[in-house]
Amino acid sequence: MVTIKILGFAGSLRRGSFNKAILRAAREELPADAELEIFDLEGIPPYNQDLDDNMPGRVKEFKQKIRSADAILIASPEYNYSIPGVLKNAIDWASRPPGDNSWDGKPVAVMGASIGMLGGARAQYHLRQVFVYVNMFPVNRPEVMVPFVQDKVDENGNITDEKTRHKVRELLESLISWTRRLKGM
């Protein structure tokens, strides 16, 4: 069976990010028929349409990684009931220039962690709306929203909660089978 290449990134730049922690958990829970590369959105500047024909190096690198991935995994917090600016900004860059939308046709899975009780649900539904326009194909289930994440990590910030790790693994399995279906892989 062909290995599915997944590109994962977090919608948080924070060093101790809980969303980076669930991405690390995803790498540990990854099924054997897939690989996961984690990209850090650090260094992607605010979007400027003047640069569509001369994109910053970090953006070019990001676009190239998206292109060579079979599927995308996003782990994002919710900021003020919506998508964090750094994440939306990165999505906007990679959707440009016209005719070179790197997201086009990509299968995608979303998960999120929050210190609140809804686990970032509202940001996930806003993200799903964005997927319509950039033409990404999201996995519907399971929905992975990790509430009160601060109670689910060890002293190094790694996810110890078994239920969370299990959900993350289920999401990966779902993303892999969805990708195989969509791409005939």
Q: Is the peptide bond before 97 cis (omega within 30 degrees of 0)?
A: yes
Spatial separation of the C-alpha atoms in residues 134 and 50, rounded to whole Å = 20
Six-digit token string for 177:
């089978």
Least distance (Å) between residue 85 CB and ligand FMN: 9
Least distance (Å) between residue 130 CB and ligand FMN: 17
User: Of residues 4, 6, 9, 17, which one binds ligand FMN by CB under 6 A?
Assistant: 17
User: Of residues 12, 89, 124, 179, which one binds ligand FMN by CB under 6 A?
Assistant: 12
User: Of residues 9, 18, 62, 103, which one binds ligand FMN by CB under 6 A?
Assistant: 18
Closest CA to 147 of 157, 129, 161: 161
Q: Given phi > 0 = left and psi -120 to 50 = alpha, else beta, which region is 81?
A: left
Six-digit token string for 100:
């070179």
* Span of 26-34, 43-51, 54-62, 114-122 interacting with ligand FMN by CB under 6 A: 114-122
By CB under 6 A, name the binding residues for ligand FMN.
12, 14, 17-19, 77-81, 114-116, 118, 120
